[in-house]
Copies of this chain bind each other. A is one copy, B any other.
Amino acid sequence: MQTQQLDRTFAALADPTRRAILMRLMDGDALLKDLAEPFDMSVPAVGKHLKVLEEAGLVSRRRDAQRRPCHLEAEPLKIAVDWLEEYRQFWEARYQQLDALLAEKNKE
């Protein structure tokens, strides 16, 4: 199943540091050193966040001498959106007077 994939993806996204890292990687690959720089946090701490992102498949790393550049992988995000899209009818209904219909359903 992809339920564990969703677990890991959503858990990875539940932290502001990790979301900021993903944002940053939208502008291009980056080193741990540089990713860590904007945060008031040690390099190993950011390294751990990176591991969480890697294990969720949101980030991949290649080798370049002693460096390990990080690359954004969007596939798990796509899966997460797909899951959330199922609820779209719900919030779209709100703007379309379908509330009455749902309220009726809840009377049972």
B77 touches A28 (CB 8 A): no
Cβ contact within 8 Å between B78 and A91: yes
Secondary structure at the A interface, as helix, strand, loop or mixed, is helix
Is A41 close to B, CB under 8 A? no
- Cβ 8 A contact of A7, one of B6, B16, B105: B16
Q: Does A35 contact B (CB under 8 A)?
A: no
When the two chains form their complex, are residues A108 and B28 in contact, meaning their CB atoms are under 8 A apart? yes
Residues in A22-74 with C-beta less than 8 Å from chain B = 22, 26-29, 69, 71-72, 74
B105:A28 contact, CB within 8 angstroms: yes
Asked whether B72 lies within 8 Å of A90 as measured between CB atoms, the reply is yes
A94 in complex: contacting residue of B29, B74, B106, CB < 8 Å: B74
